[in-house]
Structure 1
Amino acid sequence: MKKWSTKMLVEAGIMIALAVLLSRIKIYQAPQGGSVTAGSMIPILLFSMRWGLKPGIIAGATFGVLKLILGGWVFTPIQAILEYPIAFGFLGLAGIFSNSIKDFSNDKYVKIILSIFFAIGGRFLCHLLAGVIFFAEYAGTQNPWIYSLVYQSSYLVPEFIVSIIILSLIWKPISKIEK
């Protein structure tokens, strides 16, 4: 278990604040919630990749709670918990390979992409389930699973692509920063 240092806590606070700020810059807003932002998940993903799974999950869940407080879509308490602290907590999965991507080399790109895939994939599953369980009426005559899959993909796939590109570009210099 990692010791929670002052440096880690300060970095978590800065990354959460940056994530909240970037989440306010929307490139595309989906009609029933969700949006493509200016890379709002990147600070949490980066923090998770630097500090590991547990700190990343806590930072992601904190970011989710702040998003909920600052204007989340709440229809039921269970839906709010699933789509905010749990979904954004999954961004901490980016820390799954944190010990093996510290020293940068070209083969680390695969682990960076996998880290981002697991993190955003976890968030995607939460929103997919919420779409099927709580928002099936929006599907009309369509299968709610297909409707939710397409709807969640409309904003999370572009976020995934942006996150891969930016984190792949900045990880080499960032990985050299001492913790």
Structure 2
Amino acid sequence: MKNLNEIFAHPTSLFTLLAILLLIGAAIKVRKVKLSTQMITQIGIALALATVLKIFRIYHLPQGGSITIGSMVPILLIALFYGAEVGYLTGFLYGMITLIMDPYILHPVQVLFDYPLPFMALGIIGYFRNNKVLGAIVAIFGRFLCHFISGIVFFASYAGDMNPWLYSLMVNGVFIAIEGLICVIIIGLLPVDRLYSIVTKGRRPLRGDE
């Protein structure tokens, strides 16, 4: 019981464990993916589009985080086309690109919760192929949770007299809500089924293109 209390008394240790478990779980799923040349090409295109959209951002927060014109959409589309596992992989790669382009580093675990993990969460939409809007909302909320945790644990000193939970909710909630709304609207308006048919040439692949 003492060891358990010590873990909760040091949230960094707890969230380090959580980050490791999430990465291991995602890695196990991604290992089952069989990437074809077509999939690799489309992942590359999606990453390029997301990166370009990231560059033309509407607003950039001082402690990291940006409001863009739908930079998450290419990642969400890849997950819709090929399933959550491919979405996790694409999100991880995009998170690393974002880290290189716009790094804000306080702690190694903070890096995990602000870069690879939140964008990997976008792959969740792959489980909602029949309801793309709901899937986008759930996936973007997953991204928000990662940034929210980072804000509470690693950016509490920026809160001043404000409660760290409220501070993280306000900072991350505002920019994710605006960014997320833009992406949900775009996903809702896009003819995803038609795009899917064009991209896969009418072929409906199984998860991981098996």
Say if 2:54 is the partner of 1:23.
Answer: yes
Say if 2:160 is the partner of 1:140.
Answer: yes
1:54-100 Cα offsets, whole Å, 9 max, x none, are 000000010001111122211111111221111111111111123xx
Select 2:106's aligned residue among 75, 98, 103. 75
Matches within 5 A, 1:1-179: 3-98=34-129, 101=130, 111-170=131-190, 171-179=192-200
**d(CA) in 2 for partners of 1:165, 1:3:** 31
User: What displacement does 1:178 show?
Assistant: 4.8
User: What displacement does 1:2 show?
Assistant: 5.1
Indicate the SS of the match to 1:50. helix
1:125-176 Cα offsets, whole Å, 9 max, x none, are 0100000000001111111111101110111111111111111111243233
TM-score (norm 1): 0.88
TM-score (norm 2): 0.76
In structure 1, list runs of 5 or more residues that go unmatched: 102-110
In structure 2, list runs of 5 or more residues that go unmatched: 1-31, 201-210
**d(CA) in 1 for partners of 2:52, 2:118:** 18
Q: Percent identity?
A: 40
Larger Rg: 2
**d(CA) in 1 for partners of 2:133, 2:64:** 26
Indicate the SS of the match to 1:28. strand
